Amino acid sequence: MDALLRVLSDCEEYATLPVRHNEDVLNGELSQSCRLPVDSLSLDSSHVKTFLLLQAHLTRLPLPNTDYLTDTKSVLDQTVRIIQAMIDTSAEHGWLSVCLSCQMLMQSIVQARWPADSPLTTLPHIEPQHLYMFTQMTRDTNKPCTVLNGLKVSMRSYEGLARYLRREFDENQIEQIYKAINDLPTLDIKLFVRGLWFDSDGEQQKPVRQPMTRDQWIPLHADQEYTLVLEMHRRGGNPNSVMCPRFPRAKNEGYFVTLGTVEYGELHALKRTPPRGTAQITFYTPSNTGRIIYTIYIMSDSYLGLDQQYDLHFEIIDAIPPETVERAYEPDKLLLE
């Protein structure tokens, strides 16, 4: 993640970021508060200044003057577009971990938090020193209140949340926190796999029940195209208004659907989808027979800590004869003609 942040800062789009008179001194002072070091001989570099501004944004550091606030806005205005290009590039090369890390970097930039920070700190007024209250909630209720999804499910009443938060916050602040929790999106996912099987006349769609146990394996034919179908039902606030008060522009909610094999570190397919409706992601099975586990990741492009992943257990069996495949798609060919 640190390396990706440096790659982002070194992009050509930031080559013209102004470094004004004496700002090399201010950059040096700012670097003392940042997590990642910079070369002290390059403090007059636009890319180094960009790197420091991004770190200050993620750490929510105070900036030395209004020029730095303006420069930070200028930097952030371009980050989503650049990170999207980084995601596309890593997907094109099949780099699973790099692609997922770029998606997490986008979440972090939008929420102004480091990826390792607790997602609870993306809520209004919540800082790291306040997390002890949520730990106490978990102990008292025996529910996972230290994660956003668990907190949303557990805190169904205002009073259930407020009686813990009153130690640190007034009622107006608690109301804002409670509203933010209720407005967080919840995605309900149904998975299906669609394609050809030897014993069928045409394409079939089979449900993928989750979680899959060790003895559940869906047979797929080798060297064959299949489609994963995701039915996505969103619950929560407004998907056209992401909660990101420290990001300089309004943002619509979206998701990355990524299919890969963790064992080989390989990305097989990537799709960007809206938060509602049906998403389809196509992949090809390997030519070798045997068991293989694919993992599908549904990653928010805006929120930390709301991601989902599912393991898909496939047993790759013998390939379908070419003439059978051709016969199965014959009606589609006639329709096109």
Q: Which residues contact 327 (CB under 8 A, 6 or more apart)?
A: none
* Co-location of 167 and 192 in the same domain: no
Residues 46 and 67 reside in one and the same domain? yes
Claim to verify: residue 252 and residue 166 sit in the same structural domain: no
Q: How does the average pLDDT of the chain come out, rounded?
A: 92
d(C-alpha 96, C-alpha 245), whole Å: 30
The token pair at 187 is: 């995605």
**Number of domains into which the chain is organized:** 3
Helix-helix angle 66-92:46-59, to 10 degrees: 90
Instruction: Give yes or no: residues 255 and 266 share one domain.
Output: yes
75 and 143 assigned to the same domain:
no
Higher pLDDT, 86 or 205: 86
In a domain, 333, yes or no: no
Q: Are residues 192 and 179 in the same domain?
A: no
The range of the structural domain enclosing residue 263 comes to 186-327
Please give the average per-residue pLDDT across 229-246, as a whole number.
91
Q: Which of 33-37, 80-84, 132-136, 149-153 has the lowest mean pLDDT?
A: 149-153
Asked if 134 and 120 count as a contact pair (C-beta separation under 8 A), the reply is yes
**Sign of the alpha-carbon dihedral angle for 209, 144, 247, 80:** negative
Taking the C-alpha atoms of residue 280 and residue 258, their distance in angstroms, rounded to an integer, is 11
CA distance 276 to 65: 42
269 and 218 housed in the same domain: yes
pLDDT value for 198:
80
Q: Pairing relation of β-strands 308-317 and 218-221?
A: parallel
Q: How many CB atoms lie within 10 A of CB 89?
A: 13
Domain boundary among 167, 183, 199: 183
What is the Rg, in whole angstroms, of the alpha carbon atoms belonging to the chain? Answer: 24
- Give 153-187 pLDDT, tens digit per residue: 888 789 999 999 999 999 999 999 999 999 999 99
Question: Which whole number is the average pLDDT over 297-313?
Answer: 95
CATH number of the domain bearing residue 60: 1.10.3380.10
- CATH number of the domain that residue 257 is part of: 2.60.40.150
Give pLDDT tens digits for 65-93: 999 999 999 999 999 999 999 999 999 99
